[in-house]
Structure 1
């Protein structure tokens, strides 16, 4: 590097220290950066939801076949088994995809709100929801066959990873929002 030139700024260099929950937030800028990382968590959840929609919609018939194959009808009477299997069809898959798009839009809106407002309440709520979701993802991976969802195992594992990362980002968002609220009150 030539003398007198500063290195290019890296926006992630500002965000990485505030992700450490054991490091105190030292300035207004760090608090704002931390609060905005909660918004990034919401954008990440929205991206994962849209990925889910894409995977499901690119192979609707295969998804229906895998979901039907995963239904255990051995303990059901024939009428109940037929009813359960008839409920899994292309219309059901399209409804799931539509709800995934709505979910993504909601999380994008929440992320934009968190980015602008830098509050702690939204991060706290999203942190609780992400923890609950992560618990459910891990439990489902341990107890049930991932084939029951009609999705491949790798997708469920990636989903648990996305949720864990979003949870860390929400924790940072809460810490930043709490610091801002505390220092605005004084």
Structure 2
């Protein structure tokens, strides 16, 4: 379980997050909703270790956790951040080979299984420019999962997607939940949040949680 206790963050003297608290149990989905400027993405970056908190605690499985040191969180960014010069398979296997020190054979076998789970078999040799937005997102998810995270985070996973693709993303996230993945989602899309969430955390621009 991931727990946030009184997380606060300011930039240039302006408070963005003020005493944010939540509990995310294993295998559940928490969505964070709120208008632009409320600090949703800042919260995700703190949980993922991409931004330092000013105060408060993150507790993982009962102990204080520093995400900048322990890589327990995978992130699917809004713009996917795929390497355009690498194939789908190479995008997924690069970090496991370099960071986890997996052999090329092991990394590719794991990547192919993840692609199969995400209905992307046959796309291994394609490049990002050959993929649709929804397909790029699935590759980004496979790349995050290849690092074996305990928690999978998404920054606006339905942004700029058409209704049909948004429904596919909803189904995919629920399938991942059924497979036991713990997921933390930032979104403006309240309808989507209601469909996938076990709990919804609402953040206001002044940092209040309702």
Q: TM (normalized to structure 1)?
A: 0.27
Whose helix proportion is higher, 1 or 2? Answer: 1
Q: Which structure is richer in relative contact order (CA contacts within 8 A, separation 6 or more)?
A: 1
Whose strand proportion is higher, 1 or 2? Answer: 2
Q: Which has the larger radius of gyration?
A: 1
Q: TM (normalized to structure 2)?
A: 0.25
